[in-house]
Structure 1
Amino acid sequence: MPEVQFLLAHGSRNPQWRLPFEVIAARLQVAQPQRRIMLCYLELWTPSLDEGMREAYAAGLRRYRISPLFWSSGRHLQEDLPALVAQLRAELPGCEIRVDGPLGESEMIIRAALQALQ
Structure 2
Amino acid sequence: MEKVKYKESQKMMIERILIKDLISKIGLLSRMVIQLKGIIDDEDEEDDDEDEEDDEEDDDEEDDEDDDEEDDEEDEDDDEEDEDDDEEDEDDDEEDEDDDEDEEEDDYY
Tell me the TM-score range normalised by the shorter chain.
Answer: under 0.3
Which one has a bigger Cα radius of gyration? 2
Structure whose residues are more often helix by fraction:
2
TM, length-normalised to structure 2: 0.18
